[in-house]
Amino acid sequence: MSHRSYPAAIVATIVLLDRLTKWWIIANFSASDMHTILPGVFNIVHAENPGAAFGVFSQGHPALRAILLVGISSLVLMFVGKLLWTAPNPATPEPPLLRAALALVFGGALGNMIDRVFRGEVTDFIQVFIGAYEFPAFNVADSAITVGAVLLIGGLARTEMLRRRTS
């Protein structure tokens, strides 16, 4: 599999899962509906978020908010896309996990940007509790971004540890 097809498959899968799950929530749940799956642990909700992660910027002027959020998303997509599109250097092999992590971030950012561009808000539907703490509702795209970021941080930390051992 080429250096581009592996991440492209991940991006396509994330965007497809994100679109399908959001479509299903919009079609089957009224705004603010909540269905308990595991009491005190996990609910399915229908929340529309006009802002960024955790509702940041949700109270701002709609036009300014749209320009800012779509602009930031576009910059992230361009930066991560460039990293994914560029062929790895044969002299310094790149772990496949790094490309997968970047593809997860790209797919998640693209999924949420599609909502922002065409609907002006992002559909969130997963609600998780840990003890008394309630996480803000999120979606497949948010999950992909988070998992991708954690994998990137872990991969960078591992690379740094290996570099220090060999120095």
Other residues' Cβ atoms within 10 Å of the Cβ of residue 68: 15
pLDDT by residue for the chain (167 residues), tens only, comes to 677 888 999 999 999 999 999 999 999 999 888 999 999 899 999 999 876 655 555 566 666 667 777 788 888 899 888 888 887 766 666 677 888 999 999 999 999 999 989 998 899 999 999 988 988 899 999 999 999 999 999 887 777 777 777 76
Among the listed residues 18, 33, 115, 142, the single catalytic one is: 142
Cα gap 45→22, rounded to integer Å = 11
Q: How many domains would you assign to the chain?
A: 1
CB 116 within 8 A of CB 73: yes
46 in helix, strand or coil? strand
State the pTM of this model: 0.84
Asked if 113 and 142 count as a contact pair (C-beta separation under 8 A), the reply is no
| E-assigned strand segments in 30-121 | 34-38, 42-49
* Whether 142 is catalytic: yes
Q: Output phi, psi for 113, to 5 deg.
A: -65, -35
Answer yes or no: are the C-beta atoms of 149 and 105 closer than 8 Å: yes
Of 18, 33, 115, 124, catalytic: 124
Structural domain harbouring 59:
5-166
